Structure 1
Amino acid sequence: MSPRRKGLFALLIALSLALPHAVSAQGTVNASCSSQIAEAFGRTVLDDFKQTTGLNVTLHVFSSQVSVNRLKNGFCELAASALKLSADDRKLGLVAIPICKDPMVVIACKEITVSDLSLTQVRRLFSGHITNWKEAGGPDLPVRIITPVKETAAYVNFVRQAMGASQVKFDYQAARSSSAVEAVSHIPGAISFATRSVVTKFNNVKMFTIDGLEPGSKEYPYMQTFSLVTRGQPSGVVREVLNYSLSEKARENMKRRGLTPLID
């Protein structure tokens, strides 16, 4: 186990040990959640959490940054985010606890016959320099660039990890990542990016390998980390959420959805 994983494991175990094992029979967790994370986990995880802990979750879905801002301003007790905390957020006492990771994938409708793209092609496609799929070895179809809005974690993480100095251009923007995936499934020649666990819910969408690397392989470099964010040291029902997220049952739920738990 790497020093970073050992440190994370020690942090989560410390939080778990600090949590009383007796779970309250009543209570509600007021949470703000990234739309990516909400889509990735689905309602069944919340139902399982309620059954396991006896707690209800009142879930409000926004972008990662809005979810963190709501936590800072006292509108919720817990946030789920796919963004790293800023230095200012950490100074305010916010703590991010990484729970799992999921590959960021480049997608198109299944009519696109190309299966592998180089990183250079990805950058040229999303920057508008490749305007027809035949320039990338595909069919004679115009490239239609669809992205989630710039405020989403998916957009921020994709630009930071994949685009380098290239600027993203787009024909359409969607309010949520899942809406961008939905659009790709219906628009010929469309291309976008999203977290893998959301893409797998759509039958008419394909994922590309990048430079021959399969999404989720150890060498694949484009990943998102999903974290629970608390204000200061967690207590009460928030601690119970963290304890649940450490459980074997929660980890199995993550794996079934194609997510990789950060604690095995």
Structure 2
Amino acid sequence: MKKSMFASCVMSILFLVLSFYVPVNASAGQTLRYSASAQVFEGFDSARLDMFTQDTGIAIDLFVASSQSCVYRLLQDMTDVASSVRPLSQREKDFGLNAIPFAKDPLAVITHKSTPVDALTTEQLQSLFSGNVANWKEVGGPDLAVTLVVPGEQTGAHKNFRRQVMRHNDVQYDYMTYTSTRVLEAIESLPAGAVSFISRGAQITHPKVKVILIDGTKPGDADYPFYQMFNLVTKGEPAGTVKTFVDFITSDKGKALILERGMLPVE
């Protein structure tokens, strides 16, 4: 299995080195530094952050990166609050970090809408990403080459897929993107036959990308097998502007936006 780096990786790295800050309706009042997982940000874009600023008058100083980078920034006091799609390690908990789950997000298997494949079993999915399948006809599809696109190994999407789908076995790939949500751009630009995985909340705003059913279920079904948890991460118990942010995200208004994006709020 060829392991070449997706071309946009280079630009992504440069972009993040220069710091991927996104201004969100800055105000003259208080400012909250927020480091957002790329999947969490793509799942909601700036909509809920705009709503938060409008409701509270607190401006957001936003940084978007992988879950690991966001949690690291919190440990280093480079941000006030982070979001992550991976569980905290024991070491991170020992340093006082606190995870607050707010959304259950289906981990969707995706392909370009022109790919004539609509469903896979879990076993077929494992065969694809183990590198044992080179053509879709081997899993009941057409005579079409398989192209594996995966998020970087340090992203929450990669870690969750490796743990839940691959049972901790390595995930093979033809193209790897630096941030998890760049797989959407890759699937949109590559020929039919490319396949990847990403947050359902992130995929839902990309009409050229379709979701593949797994074991006859679609993301959001009660028996869909693969989910990841979206968490807010704080240092200790939230207080001040951080508590205001957490309260907003977990409010009825925040939950309504979660449902709108195809995810399930955590009660």
The equivalences for 1:77-92 within 5 A come to 77-92=80-95
Aligned partners of 1:112 and 1:138 also within 8 Å: no
Higher alpha-carbon deviation: 33-42 or 197-206 = 197-206
Q: Does the residue aligned with 1:241 lie in a helix, a strand or coil?
A: helix
The equivalent residue for 2:189 is 186
Q: Which amino acid aligns with 2:242?
A: V
Aligned partners of 2:107 and 2:197 also within 8 Å: yes
Q: Which amino acid aligns with 1:65?
A: Q
CA positional deviation for 1:75: 0.5
Q: Deviating runs (4+, > 2 A) in structure 1?
A: none
CA positional deviation for 1:214: 1.7
Deviation string, structure 1 residues 207-250 (Cα, Å, up to 9, x no partner): 11111122111111200111111101211111111111232111
1:93 equivalent in alignment to 2:81 = no
Q: CA 1:40–1:165 in 2, change beyond 3 Å: closer, same or farther?
A: closer
Deviation string, structure 1 residues 110-161 (Cα, Å, up to 9, x no partner): 2222211111110111111110011122221111100011010000001100
Q: Does the residue aligned with 1:185 lie in a helix, a strand or coil?
A: helix
Between the aligned partners of 2:82 and 2:109, the Cα distance in structure 1 is 27
The equivalences for 1:11-30 within 5 A come to 26-30=29-33
Aligned partners of 1:182 and 1:202 also within 8 Å: no
1:49 to 48, 52, 65: 52
Aligned partners of 2:151 and 2:183 also within 8 Å: yes
Between the aligned partners of 1:197 and 1:110, the Cα distance in structure 2 is 17
Q: Which runs of 5+ in 2 are unaligned?
A: 1-27
The equivalences for 1:1-264 within 5 A come to 26-164=29-167, 166-188=169-191, 189-263=193-267
Identity %: 40
Q: CA 1:156–1:165 in 2, change beyond 3 Å: closer, same or farther?
A: closer
The equivalent residue for 1:22 is none
Q: Which amino acid aligns with 1:168?
A: V
CA positional deviation for 1:165: 5.2
Q: What CA RMSD, in Å, does the superposition of the two structures yield over aligned residues?
A: 1.3
Q: How many residues align?
A: 239
Aligned partners of 1:123 and 1:166 also within 8 Å: no
Q: Which amino acid aligns with 2:262?
A: G
Between the aligned partners of 2:137 and 2:250, the Cα distance in structure 1 is 47
Q: Which amino acid aligns with 2:88?
A: L
TM-score, structure 2 normalization: 0.86
Q: Give the greater-gyration-radius structure (CA).
A: 1
Between the aligned partners of 1:179 and 1:153, the Cα distance in structure 2 is 13
Q: Does the residue aligned with 2:165 lie in a helix, a strand or coil?
A: helix
Between the aligned partners of 1:165 and 1:78, the Cα distance in structure 2 is 29
Q: Which amino acid aligns with 2:120?
A: L
Q: Does the residue aligned with 2:100 lie in a helix, a strand or coil?
A: strand
CA positional deviation for 1:103: 0.2
Between the aligned partners of 1:89 and 1:205, the Cα distance in structure 2 is 35
Deviation string, structure 1 residues 59-95 (Cα, Å, up to 9, x no partner): 1011001100100111011011111000011111110
Between the aligned partners of 1:136 and 1:107, the Cα distance in structure 2 is 16
Between the aligned partners of 2:205 and 2:250, the Cα distance in structure 1 is 26
Aligned partners of 1:146 and 1:171 also within 8 Å: yes
